[in-house]
Amino acid sequence: MIIEPVLLAELAVLGLCTGFLAGLLGIGGGMIMVPFLTYLLGERGVSPDLAVKMAIATSMATIIFTSVSSVRAHHKKGAVRWDLVKGLAPGIVMGSLLGSMGIFAVVKGSSLALFFAAFVSFSATQMFLDKKPAPTRQMPAFAGQLGAGGVIGLLSGLVGAGGGFISVPFMAWCNVAIHNAVATSAALGFPIALANVAGYIASGMALDHLPDYSFGYLWLPALVVIATCSVFMAPIGAATAHKLPVKQLKRVFAGTLFLLSAYMLFKGLSA
């Protein structure tokens, strides 16, 4: 596979857009990257099943970099709930490794695409309806956060996202302010990405017929270009998030997820 200039330009634009969304919505950009990387790999002769898996893995790897850039901007504004990061992170690591080293390797790419569409649509609906949580509901204790982190890490690994599509609605449901939820989700993206990427590399090293410049399920050209561009835009997205009203931020979050879930539903049904 030749890395042509057009591909580099496409990846750069994708990196700029996803970096902005990583800071704005706390979703790590994965919800944007997976559909577009699936398309780009498919256009270059990669089988649909493998293209979906490589898109998910590569998307997750870029979150290692965008998370650091985004969370620094949120931390400066005092928005990150580090107490929640400490409670959720251990479960996130365990769930991520289970998903990326076990389930991910045996499930078909088309099934992953359909799962992506279904779960993201559900999350978007909950956010769009903006249902008010019971005023007495709070974040669970450590055991509950450990379990919630496990679910977040597992599902994130199966769809290649930083967990914001689960953790933001979950924290909002527990009466965490939306700006704090977005900022904390950005911080959780780092352990999610690190654990999942380790699993993707380990489970993909023995595969045959991988495209050039692959490392396990990772597609290195996309990783390098997208990560380089996205780290510049994540702080801008984070700054924008703190200027938007709560309801508008929720609607932006939900609308973005609806569009991307529709595309992946199409990919899953046509595979």
Least confident range from 25-29, 136-140, 182-186, 265-269: namely 25-29
What's residue 88's pLDDT? Answer: 93
**Residue 214: which H helix or E strand, with range?**
strand 214-215
Number of independent structural domains in the chain: 1
Least confident range from 58-62, 128-132, 221-225: namely 128-132
Domain-embedded: residue 245: yes
What's residue 257's pLDDT? Answer: 74
Mean pLDDT over each residue of the chain, to the nearest integer: 82
Q: Is the pLDDT of residue 28 over 60?
A: no
pLDDT in tens, 220-239: 999 999 988 888 887 788 77
8 burial via Cβ count (<10 Å: 0-12, 13-18, 19+): middle
Nearest to 178 by CA among 241, 256, 233, 122: 241
* Locus of tokens 């199409």: 266
DSSP secondary structure string for all residues of 98-145? HIIIIIHHHS-HHHHHHHHHHHHHHHHHHHHHTPPPPTT-----HHHH
Domain-embedded: residue 271: no
Domain-embedded: residue 84: yes
Q: Which long-range contacts (CB under 8 A, 24 or more apart) does 167-170 make?
A: 167/26, 167/88, 168/25, 168/26, 168/27, 168/127, 168/253, 169/123, 169/126, 169/127
Domain-embedded: residue 196: yes
- Residues of the domain holding 173: 5-264
32 Cβ partners below 8 Å, 6+ apart?
14, 17, 18, 21, 256, 260
Cα angle 205, 268, 32; round to 5: 75
Specify the pTM. 0.76
Domain-embedded: residue 269: no
Domain-embedded: residue 58: yes
Q: What percentage of the chain exceeds 70 in pLDDT?
A: 89
What's residue 146's pLDDT? Answer: 92
Side-chain half-sphere exposure of 220, counting CA atoms within 13 A? 11
* Structure tokens belonging to residue 169: 């609605």
Domain-embedded: residue 46: yes
- 250-268 average pLDDT score: 76
Nearest to 249 by CA among 163, 183, 152: 183
CA 7 to CA 90: how far, in whole Å?
37
Domain-embedded: residue 270: no
